[in-house]
Amino acid sequence: MPIVDAHHHLLDPARVNYPFLEFLPELRQFLGHADFAEVIAPAGIDATVCVQAADCEDETAFLLDQQRESSRIAGVVGWVPLTDPEATARSLARHRAAGSKLVGIRHLIHDEADEDWVVQPKVLESLQLLAEAEIAFDLSAFTPRHLEHVPTLTSAAPELDLILCHFGMPAANDDGAHWEPWASRFAEAARHERCVVKISGLDMYRGGCDVERFQPYFDYALDRFGAERMIWASNWPVSLRLQGYGELLDTAREALRQCSAAERDSIFGGNANRIYRLGL
């Protein structure tokens, strides 16, 4: 089974305004598919999914251009104007007609002042359109309140493949002091069979990899979601600030050492291939 990195970014700050670069100025540089290819080749990555980092169609166009130039990028998670279902429908139709490898949609809901942004009626209507088009939705759930919305989203669009980014962002830097309310909300999300989780992003709190500190989160995800609904991803270049890609992969492999070979195949490639419909 191919190894898939199901969540990384590419950047063109001259073309796109990325709000997060205010906090990570060292990443304010062009990072294209060729730069990423140099990073992933030693790690043996076979395919990737490139994910949006700005809420605009211009960045989606940039990512799709990069995908067309790369033999490794198997799909793009882009952006469409979810608050406008008619515009969302037009965007999806345009991408479909162009044969683009748009496999998912994300909106940076963690940048919205309203933590209930994603459950407003117009957005729910657009999410139904994604489900009909068999395009997944990456839920950028950075707070417990965001996780609380999973039942509403799955009820509004039962056929939607809903993907939690970065473990639902637990505070993995405090020795479990803030295990709750994240853990309860995470467990509730896992009850919905079309909801899956990307096991990534823990290092954003730690500033590095720590198998012992991360182990409880991997174990909890495995217990609640099962290997068939877990997807490995790097979150490059945000994770480890351009350094230590192999360390990210090795840390996940060590934390999942109790899994069978078949389960690891699913987590490190098979699930991303199936849920994003990559056709690998």
User: Which residue reads 């933590």 in tokens?
Assistant: 115
pLDDT in tens, the chain (280 residues): 899 999 999 999 999 999 999 999 999 999 999 999 999 999 999 999 999 999 999 999 999 999 999 999 999 999 999 999 999 999 999 999 999 999 999 999 999 999 999 999 999 999 999 999 999 999 999 999 999 999 999 999 999 999 999 999 998 766 666 899 999 999 999 999 999 999 999 988 766 788 998 999 999 999 999 999 999 999 999 987 767 899 999 999 999 999 999 999 999 999 999 999 999 9
What pLDDT is attached to residue 94? 97
What pLDDT is attached to residue 210? 86
The distance in angstroms from the start CA to the end CA of the chain is: 9
Q: What global pTM score does this model have? A: 0.96
Q: Provide the residue count of the chain.
A: 280
Position 137: which residue type? F
User: What is the CA 123 to chain-centroid distance, rounded?
Assistant: 19
What single string gives the DSSP state of each residue in 109-169? GGGSS-TTGGGSHHHHHHHHHHHHTT-EEEE---SHHHHHTHHHHHHH-TT--EEESGGG-
Q: Are 200 and 164 in contact (CB under 8 A)?
A: no
Domains of the chain: 4-275 (3.20.20.140)
Task: Specify which residues 163 forms β-bridges with.
Answer: 138, 196
> Exposed e or buried b for every residue in 145-162, given b needs 16+ CB within 10 A?
ebbbbbeebbebbeebbb
Q: Are 132 and 125 in contact (CB under 8 A)?
A: no
